[in-house]
């Protein structure tokens, strides 16, 4: 604040001084005070890019996306435009205007090919497309102390099955922020993919000690118990993960599949029925319910469930396997 005041006292620098002060307020996420400063800055210099940028961020904090977009576009109209384009692209992507957001982020990367923030935002916007990994890798190379980029890179490498590099990225993410639950969970997910089940379970439990109600951490614990064959512990953890996040069908479906594999088809059916009730267009839920119904020798209901699994559009299933199960029913 003191430095901003000195800047504003210089001849011809009043607008920059106010813009600087606005950005300082935004460090504290004080949008109202920031907007008061940007108004003073733009009254003196209507094209001041830092003032428009600060105003955009303040409006975004105030949950006013239309005003934020207008300010970011104004900021991007004059150099330096890269930061404004990054903010604009991020905003548009999160406002479900992905194509426009990606276009803005591509412009930012083109304007500053070595900029880690632009590469990170574009990489996360494009994921899980293959183009995301080199962009996220670039972000971590240009800014090694970038935990979000390491986390995003590790997640995409795990998705791609590149486990050695995923493990390294997860370790880097944890190193940058040892208390980051997402980073710890990622390291556990990599361990589980590498069949290091005890390490995965330890990571999940460590994450829940930091945030007990983190659904991703509890789900990792559940998956690790399931892999160890501890059905009771796994089912309890799956129930916990579902309780902490009702947006994710995964815990219900995995619990159903686990119980079916353990020949507990009454419980498997209960989880499967709950999954299709909550997520009627989710194919893996219908497939899991079909398996449970087969286990209970309810052929007609199982046939209907498998057919539903093949007809709905959400989620990924092994369609050939489900069709084979359907064809095998008497």
Q: What is the pTM of this model?
A: 0.88
What does the alpha-carbon distance between residue 49 and residue 65 come to, in Å, rounded to a whole number? 18
Long-range contacts of the stretch 319-322 (C-beta < 8 A, 24+): 322/287, 322/290
For the chain, give the mean pLDDT: 96
- What are the residues whose beta carbons fall under 8 Å from the beta carbon of 281, sequence distance 6 or more? 312, 313, 314
279-306 pLDDT, tens digit per residue, is 999 999 999 999 999 999 999 999 999 9
Q: What percent of the chain lies above the pLDDT cut of 90? A: 98
pLDDT at 102: 97
Long-range contacts of the stretch 86-94 (C-beta < 8 A, 24+): 86/115, 86/117, 86/118, 86/121, 87/53, 87/56, 87/57, 87/60, 88/56, 89/121, 89/122, 89/125, 90/121, 91/56, 91/60, 91/65, 93/121, 93/125
CATH classification for the domain delimited by 249-330, as one of 2.30.290.10, 1.25.40.10, 1.20.20.10, 1.10.357.10: 1.25.40.10
pLDDT at 21: 96
Please say whether the beta carbons of 151 and 180 come within 8 A. yes
Angle (CA) 84 88 89, round 5°: 120
What does the alpha-carbon distance between residue 166 and residue 160 come to, in Å, rounded to a whole number? 9
20-31 pLDDT, tens digit per residue, is 999 999 999 999
162: left (phi over 0), alpha (psi -120 to 50) or beta: beta
What does the alpha-carbon distance between residue 148 and residue 269 come to, in Å, rounded to a whole number? 39
The torsion angle over the Cα atoms of residues 155, 242, 280 and 299, rounded to 10 degrees, is 110
User: What's the start-to-end Cα distance of the chain, in Å?
Assistant: 77
Class of residue 203 by CB neighbours under 10 A (exposed 0-12, middle 13-18, buried 19+):
buried
pLDDT at 81: 86
What does the alpha-carbon distance between residue 74 and residue 70 come to, in Å, rounded to a whole number? 6
249-330 matches 149-241 in CATH topology = yes
Residue in the block written with tokens 């000690």: 209
pLDDT at 79: 76
- What are the residues whose beta carbons fall under 8 Å from the beta carbon of 224, sequence distance 6 or more? 188, 192, 197, 198, 200, 201, 204
102-156 pLDDT, tens digit per residue, is 999 999 999 999 999 999 999 999 999 999 999 999 999 999 999 999 999 999 9
Phi, psi (deg, nearest 5) at residue 185? -65, -40
DSSP bridge pairs for 282: 314
33-83 pLDDT, tens digit per residue, is 999 999 999 999 999 999 999 999 999 999 999 999 999 999 998 876 899
| CA distances, 212 to each of 41, 131, 173, 178, 237 (Å) | 46, 35, 20, 16, 12
Q: Residue 315 has what DSSP assignment?
A: S
Residue 259 CB coordination number (10 Å): 26
Parse the chain into domains and list their residue ranges.
Answer: 149-241, 249-330
CATH homologous superfamily for the domain 149-241: Tetratricopeptide repeat domain (1.25.40.10)
Phi, psi (deg, nearest 5) at residue 212? -65, -30
């Amino acid at each position: 604040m003191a430095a901003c005041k000195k800047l504003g006292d210089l001849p011809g620098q009043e607008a920059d001084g106010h813009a600087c002060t606005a950005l300082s307020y935004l460090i504290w996420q004080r949008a109202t005070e920031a907007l008061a400063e940007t108004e003073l800055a733009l009254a003196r210099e209507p094209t001041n890019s830092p003032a428009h940028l600060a105003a955009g961020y303040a409006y975004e904090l105030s949950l006013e996306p239309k005003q934020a977009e207008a300010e970011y576009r104004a900021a991007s109209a004059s150099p330096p435009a890269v930061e404004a384009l990054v903010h604009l692209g991020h905003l548009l992507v999160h406002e479900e205007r992905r194509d426009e957001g990606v276009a803005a982020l591509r412009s930012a990367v083109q304007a500053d090919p070595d900029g880690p923030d632009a590469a990170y935002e574009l990489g996360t916007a494009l994921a899980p497309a293959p183009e995301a990994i080199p962009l996220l890798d670039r972000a971590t190379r240009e800014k090694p102390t970038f935990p979000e980029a390491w986390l995003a890179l590790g997640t995409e490498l795990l998705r791609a099955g590149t486990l050695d590099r995923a493990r390294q990225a997860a370790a880097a993410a944890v190193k940058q922020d040892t208390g980051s639950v997402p980073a710890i969970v990622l390291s556990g997910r990599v361990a589980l993919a590498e069949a290091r089940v005890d390490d995965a379970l330890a990571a999940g439990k460590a994450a829940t000690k930091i945030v007990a109600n983190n659904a991703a951490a509890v789900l990792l614990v559940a998956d690790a118990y399931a892999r160890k064959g501890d059905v009771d512990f796994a089912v309890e953890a799956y129930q916990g993960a579902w309780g902490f996040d009702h947006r994710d069908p995964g815990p219900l479906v995995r619990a159903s599949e686990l119980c079916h594999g353990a020949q507990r088809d009454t419980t498997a059916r209960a989880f499967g029925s709950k999954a299709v009730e909550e997520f009627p267009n989710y194919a893996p839920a219908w497939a899991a319910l079909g398996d449970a119904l087969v286990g209970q020798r309810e052929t007609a209901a199982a046939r209907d469930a498998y057919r539903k699994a093949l007809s709905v559009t959400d989620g990924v299933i092994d369609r050939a396997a489900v069709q084979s199960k359907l064809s095998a029913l008497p």
